[in-house]
Chains A and B, each alone.
Chain A
Amino acid sequence: MSSITLKNISKYVCKDVNLEIFDKELLVLLGPNGAGKSTLLNIIAGLIDYEGSVLFDNKPVDMLPANQRRIGYLFQELNLFPHLDVSANIAYGLKMQKRPKNEIKARVEELLQIMKIKHLSSRYPKELSGGEKQRVALARALANSPLILLLDEPMNSLDYRTSKYLRTEFKMLQKRLGITTIYVTHNFYEAEEMAERIAVLDKGRVEQIGSPKEIFFHPTEAVNDFIGAPNILNCDYCNRLGFGLVEVKCGDITLVVYSEREKIKKVAILPEDIYLSDARPPGPDVNRVIGRLSEIEESSSTVCCTVTTGKNSLKVKLPKEIFVGMSLSSGDEVWLILAPRKLKIITGGE
């Protein structure tokens, strides 16, 4: 419905940010706390003043106040009006725009239907669960048919399952409505699940923009640190096993990965996703690697160690108490498990 262009935006931590969000796209703005993500959203919404220029569909909107920018904004705390019930919360924007009563009623009904919260219509926010609040807040943000939707870490307060479910649902809804969306998060997994493109923001700068795979397999130095420095293995040989499984050889390591395509170029896994054991783990001998512990780096709560196997070396990160319990030292033999679900791949076509 509308593309967004940021030109030389500066405010607080943000320095000279240039960014383009395509029409109907879902862009995830990923970065650590204090990177300037929320600041950028507030600038796009017109809630704070700034230097630089914001363009919607290549038309500058810098002079437009927040209430004329046609934006839906979901705040981290959601901020449902506590003194209004669910219907009145959703209807708020429509009432402020002085739409006719019957139109408001019909639109609220429609949104209650879309968000599957019809049964909650006369409840107050304090009587809702976290997930329900989420749906109400989204319905309220969509009520005025905004051209752009901004979401600021909306899933932060939810448990893993609810947030995963809501994310999937939201992604479908976003596709259906075709609304240009910026989704802010500090969680790479969340970003990877949602995004067509990820823009990684660090210390007020756009460090990298690309598809989740581009970011994961070719991170810049700052991004690499932030997403957790994945182990990347180059594949020498692939063999399609069928049933969506492919066997790959990377040096001495043989792995089975989930893929429909045969030509796999690279496999990657995050250090914290590798399981390390001092004894041979039970179960079939798939995706298991024997190696030698070479480097051990201890920090306050985690241990990061390097395991070498043939020409490859893998970084493994695990909680300190577990590592101490195994009483391992450099040069010891260890077993690693690389779960297929945690392995990310780049295939020939990408």
Chain B
Amino acid sequence: MKRYKIFKLKWEIIPIITFLGIWEIIARLNLIPGQFFFPPFSVVLTEFWHLTISGVLGSNFVSSLIRVLIGFFAGSITGLFIGIIMGWNNLVNRSLNPIISLIYPIPALGWLPLLMLWFGIGEILPITIIFICSFFPILYNTVTGIKNVDKNYIFVARILGASDLKILSTVVIPLALPNIFTGLRLESGMAWRVIIAAEMVAIPTGIGALMMKAESLIRIDIIIVCLIVLGVMCLSFEKFFAFLENKLTNRWR
């Protein structure tokens, strides 16, 4: 059996360590004027520890995480569901497509002012933004995936006695999985990028908000901690879906 690795922690660790080392040296040697604005990695690491112990990082991280999970989950489930119906039924596709084509290009953050007025500053706001940000791309990927399934597979299944619903569940959706997963993988990372922006602009809690507070206190170390957490989360979410995709489709693709 092949073993799937989420993080390939082999030689990839070397460039990272080198990078951190150079960072540390440059900051320690005061090579950059105004070194106050450029803390060494060890200081960032210490601050990371402090923030973790005090629970500040944890609580903000959890509120961001919960928003991403709820918004992304709701958005992708809805996108998948509507995408499957649109991909399968031409009439639905033709009636919904014009509306969706019109709304899809609007960047998720563009909704922020409108949603602030509609929902106020609360948990609904970031969750809705994440919902919008994941819904459309996943919908499109699902529709494309289903439309791209070769008609002859459907014919074969029909001749072999499958009902429409069975054709959909046993042939069409499995064959559309690679496409669907492309959407899920890309959007799971995108959700993190969007949540941070939303929190920076409008919401008082979360990693984004923590960054903005750090900015007003000129705490560069905290900002860098937040950025690292963010980078790791984007990567982990994307890798998780890549792993799932591999597990579900690698055998036959």
Chain B residues numbered 99-116 whose CB sits less than 8 Å from any CB in chain A: none
CB of B150 closer than 8 Å to a CB of A: yes
Shortest distance between the CB of A187 and any CB in chain B (Å): 22
CB of B161 closer than 8 Å to a CB of A: yes
Chain B residues numbered 147-196 whose CB sits less than 8 Å from any CB in chain A: 150, 152-153, 155-163, 166, 170-171, 174-175, 177
Asked if B160 and A144 sit within 8 Å, CB to CB, the answer is yes
Asked if A96 and B174 sit within 8 Å, CB to CB, the answer is no
| 20 more A-B residue pairs beyond the given contacts A42-B155, A81-B157, with a C-beta to C-beta distance below 8 A | A47-B155, A47-B158, A65-B158, A67-B159, A67-B162, A72-B159, A73-B156, A73-B159, A79-B153, A79-B155, A79-B156, A81-B171, A82-B252, A82-B253, A83-B249, A83-B252, A125-B252, A126-B252, A143-B160, A144-B160
In the assembly, what is the distance between CA of A79 and CA of B175, in Å? 12
List chain B positions with a Cβ less than 8 A from chain A: 150, 152-153, 155-163, 166, 170-171, 174-175, 177, 249, 251-253
Asked if B166 and A96 sit within 8 Å, CB to CB, the answer is yes
Asked if B160 and A93 sit within 8 Å, CB to CB, the answer is yes
Chain A residues numbered 118-174 whose CB sits less than 8 Å from any CB in chain B: 124-126, 140, 143-144
Asked if A124 and B159 sit within 8 Å, CB to CB, the answer is no
Set A69, A82, A96: member contacting B157, Cβ < 8 A: A96
Task: For A42, list chain B residues within 8 Å (CB).
Answer: 155
Task: For B170, list chain A residues within 8 Å (CB).
Answer: 92, 96
In the assembly, what is the distance between CA of A72 and CA of B161, in Å? 11
CB of A75 closer than 8 Å to a CB of B: yes
Asked if B161 and A67 sit within 8 Å, CB to CB, the answer is yes
In the assembly, what is the distance between CA of A298 and CA of B224, in Å? 79
Sorted from nearest, which 8 A-B pairs have the closest CB atoms? A93-B160, A96-B161, A96-B162, A67-B161, A79-B152, A83-B174, A124-B252, A83-B252
In the assembly, what is the distance between CA of A79 and CA of B152, in Å? 7
In the assembly, what is the distance between CA of A97 and CA of B161, in Å? 6
Shortest distance between the CB of B150 and any CB in chain A (Å): 7
> In the complex, which residue of chain A has the Cβ closest to the Cβ of B171?
A81
In the assembly, what is the distance between CA of A71 and CA of B156, in Å? 10
Set A66, A73, A79, A96: member contacting B150, Cβ < 8 A: A79
Asked if A124 and B251 sit within 8 Å, CB to CB, the answer is yes
Shortest distance between the CB of A22 and any CB in chain B (Å): 22
Q: Digitize A329-340: 1 where CB-to-B-CB distance is under 8 Å, 0 elsewhere.
A: 000000000000
CB of A252 closer than 8 Å to a CB of B: no
CB of A45 closer than 8 Å to a CB of B: yes
Asked if A126 and B253 sit within 8 Å, CB to CB, the answer is yes
Shortest distance between the CB of B19 and any CB in chain A (Å): 40
Shortest distance between the CB of A179 and any CB in chain B (Å): 15
> In the complex, which residue of chain A has the Cβ closest to the Cβ of B177?
A83
Set A47, A79, A93: member contacting B161, Cβ < 8 A: A93
In the assembly, what is the distance between CA of A83 and CA of B150, in Å? 14
Task: For B152, list chain A residues within 8 Å (CB).
Answer: 75, 77, 79
Task: For A79, list chain B residues within 8 Å (CB).
Answer: 150, 152-153, 155-156
Task: For B253, list chain A residues within 8 Å (CB).
Answer: 82, 126
> In the complex, which residue of chain B has the Cβ closest to the Cβ of A72?
B159
Task: For B150, list chain A residues within 8 Å (CB).
Answer: 77, 79
Asked if B160 and A92 sit within 8 Å, CB to CB, the answer is yes
Chain A residues numbered 86-103 whose CB sits less than 8 Å from any CB in chain B: 92-93, 96-97
Q: Digitize A57-71: 1 where CB-to-B-CB distance is under 8 Å, 0 elsewhere.
A: 000000001110101
> In the complex, which residue of chain B has the Cβ closest to the Cβ of A73?
B159
Shortest distance between the CB of B22 and any CB in chain A (Å): 45
17 A-B pairs within 8 Å (CB atoms) are namely A45-B159, A66-B159, A67-B158, A67-B159, A67-B162, A69-B159, A73-B155, A73-B156, A75-B155, A81-B175, A82-B252, A82-B253, A83-B177, A92-B157, A96-B157, A96-B166, A97-B161
Task: For A124, list chain B residues within 8 Å (CB).
Answer: 251-252
In the assembly, what is the distance between CA of A255 and CA of B175, in Å? 59
Chain A residues numbered 42-59 whose CB sits less than 8 Å from any CB in chain B: 42, 45, 47
Chain A residues numbered 4-57 whose CB sits less than 8 Å from any CB in chain B: 42, 45, 47
Shortest distance between the CB of A211 and any CB in chain B (Å): 30
In the assembly, what is the distance between CA of A144 and CA of B163, in Å? 15
Asked if A67 and B249 sit within 8 Å, CB to CB, the answer is no
In the assembly, what is the distance between CA of A65 and CA of B163, in Å? 11
In the assembly, what is the distance between CA of A4 and CA of B132, in Å? 55
Shortest distance between the CB of A57 and any CB in chain B (Å): 19
Asked if B156 and A75 sit within 8 Å, CB to CB, the answer is yes
Task: For A92, list chain B residues within 8 Å (CB).
Answer: 157, 160, 162, 170
